[in-house]
Amino acid sequence: MHIAIIMDGNGRWASQRRLPRTAGHRVGAKSVRAIVEAAARRGVETLSLYAFSAANWSRPDAEVSALFSLLRRYLGSQTQRCLEQSIRINVIGRRDRLGPSLLQLIERSEAATAHGSRMLLRIAVDYSAQHSLIETSRRLGAAGPVDRSQFIEHLAAVDHAATVVPGVDLLIRTGGEKRLSDFLLWECAYAELLFLDTLWPDFDEPAFAEALEEFARRDRRFGRIASTNESHLSHA
């Protein structure tokens, strides 16, 4: 299955404790490590994490710098751990606004873990689903008729995706907000949405397990009628 997570609430977690927002991001990074490993243990095939949106550039410079510092630290410290656990790292999103040193670190992490087959870990950085869809449409503008599979392949290329992945099965958003915030709009067409009040630094493995249990209770119909009714009609 493909799980996507909007990791929201780091700043509020810190504010509630009268700490700088950057402290919330640091604790939130620990949650990232815990949830990545929990997802791999539970057989999740693809995990997409919203680390830095295109809109986040409007935050104070100090906070932006802190977020990218945490990303560098994560890639530097966790690439080997992901390699050992056969987890493939892929950073999706724009790359034209990232610094050369960060780009090199991203490319090294992706190359080092390229053969990981246990789980694909996608980290969205400078990501905007609207930008991705517009850019894909722009590139295909002169291509003539395009079918769905071709569009998906071009969208993956725009996002620097390592491979085309199935649509999102479950999208989790922590922090109490109930919106997608420009994250994986195409991929979430039939996703089950789960909005939690838990702030991201407090989201741990038991909370993740509860989210999976909630997902298991959902009846995913993809536009069809309920399975019980289908069974009844098939015997009518």
Residues with active-site annotation: 8, 56
SS3 199: coil
Rounded to whole angstroms, the Cα distance separating 220 from 190 reads 8
Q: Tell the residue number behind the tokens 């098939």, with chain if given.
A: 234
Of the candidates 214, 169, 218, 162, the one whose C-alpha atom is nearest the C-alpha of residue 1 is: 169
Q: Give the relative orientation of helices 148-158 and 129-139 as an angle to the nearest 10 degrees.
A: 120
Question: Which residues neighbour 224 within 8 Å (Cβ) at sequence distance 6 or greater?
Answer: 230
Contact 4, 171 (CB under 8 A): yes
Contact 228, 206 (CB under 8 A): no
Kindly state the tokens that stand for 34: 């815990």
Contact 123, 49 (CB under 8 A): yes
Kindly state the tokens that stand for 44: 């999740």
